[in-house]
């Protein structure tokens, strides 16, 4: 009897302490992170990925303030006279005014890690950080008047942006499958769609807030906190996700408490199950 009473007493005391602890935490569980105000959200919305010239290769999703400046990894396409690719004693004749010459063709070259391209005859040119117009002028100056008697027509465009392959968004924290996910240039994802890529939220922790980080034009990291509970569900659909965003579903006091209670319940069920097995 004494042993049984002692066991029951300890169990009751443990339950009472747990109840008091849970009650105290639940009072504070509503104290989650503060949602971002209008000014912070507006600054967050204004930030985003680097954007390039919209007409190049249809890649309007890559943005940059002002004219696009070439970076290592970009593939450039030059429309220029075909004879610039060969050395010929008759080179100058090709540049005399003439009708019917179809002597312009595309030439593709990748910008190397040092920001350099190599063109026929003239060799290496430093193009990293330069605009397309600056590169066109540089190429013309490289060929004329040293190699040709007339200034050639040269048009440069970006055939493939290096940053296109870097277009991803990342989901971390209290989700089922945290990972980085590709962001195609011809789509627009919202916050709920981005979370769905990660398999949805951790149902045990049941988070109600999410913080999104992104980089502004000055390279500074800006962030905003959004609600993802039932009251904020429609608002979350209106939050546009941009390439490069990091979506972090972090723990709050409430999610930690939910996780703790789930672990305790699982432990108590396991103990009860083991006790029943012993009594059989």
Report if pTM > 0.85: no
Domain residue ranges of the chain, discontinuous segments joined by +:
31-49+167-256, 56-163
Q: What is the Cα–Cα distance from 54 to 63, expressed in whole angstroms?
A: 8
Instruction: Identify which of 207, 204, 175 has the alpha carbon closest to the alpha carbon of residue 33.
Output: 207
One DSSP character per residue, 173-194 reads ESBSS-EEEE--TT--EEHHHH
Say which residues have a Cβ less than 8 Å from residue 178's Cβ, sequence separation at least 6: 171, 172, 198
pLDDT tens for the chain, 280 residues: list them.
Answer: 454 445 455 555 455 455 545 555 444 445 567 787 788 888 888 887 644 333 333 333 444 446 778 888 889 999 888 766 554 444 445 445 444 445 667 889 999 988 899 998 889 999 988 999 999 999 999 999 888 888 888 999 988 877 665 678 889 889 999 988 888 767 899 999 999 999 998 888 888 889 999 987 777 888 899 988 777 778 888 899 998 899 999 888 887 888 888 777 776 655 554 555 544 5
Question: Regarding the domain with residue range 56-163, which homologous superfamily does it belong to in the CATH classification?
Answer: wza like domain (3.30.1950.10)
DSSP-based three-state secondary structure for 265: helix
Give the pairing type, strands 240-241 and 123-126: unpaired
If you classify domain 31-49+167-256 with CATH, what class do you get? alpha beta
Q: Residue 122 in contact with residue 147, Cβ under 8 Å?
A: yes
Structure tokens at 18: 């747990």
> Contact at 8 Å (CB) between 168 and 183?
yes
């Amino acid at each position: 009897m004494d042993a049984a009473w002692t066991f029951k007493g300890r169990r009751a005391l443990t339950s009472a302490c747990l109840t008091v602890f849970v009650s105290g935490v639940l009072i504070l569980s509503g104290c989650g992170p503060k949602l971002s105000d209008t000014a912070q959200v507006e600054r967050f919305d204004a930030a985003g990925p680097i954007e390039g010239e919209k007409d190049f290769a249809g890649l309007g999703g890559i943005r940059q303030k002002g004219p696009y400046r070439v970076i290592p990894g970009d593939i450039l396409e030059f429309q220029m006279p075909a004879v610039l690719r060969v050395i010929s004693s008759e080179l100058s004749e090709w540049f005399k005014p003439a009708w019917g010459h179809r002597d312009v063709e595309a030439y593709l070259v990748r910008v190397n890690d040092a920001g350099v391209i190599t063109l026929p005859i003239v060799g290496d040119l430093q193009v990293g950080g330069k605009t397309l117009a600056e590169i066109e002028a540089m190429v013309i100056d490289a060929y004329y008047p040293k190699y040709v008697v007339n200034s050639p027509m040269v048009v440069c465009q970006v055939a493939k942006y290096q940053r296109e392959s870097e277009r991803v968004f990342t989901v971390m924290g209290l989700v089922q499958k945290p990972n980085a996910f590709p962001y195609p240039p011809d789509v627009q994802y919202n916050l709920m769609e981005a979370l769905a890529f990660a398999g949805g939220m951790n149902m045990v922790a049941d988070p109600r807030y999410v913080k999104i980080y992104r980089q502004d034009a000055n390279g500074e990291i800006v962030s905003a906190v959004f609600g993802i509970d039932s009251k904020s569900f429609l608002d979350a659909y209106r939050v546009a996700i941009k390439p490069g965003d990091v979506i972090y579903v972090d723990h709050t006091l409430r999610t930690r408490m939910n996780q703790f209670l789930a672990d305790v319940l699982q432990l108590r069920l396991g103990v009860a199950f083991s006790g029943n097995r012993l009594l059989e």
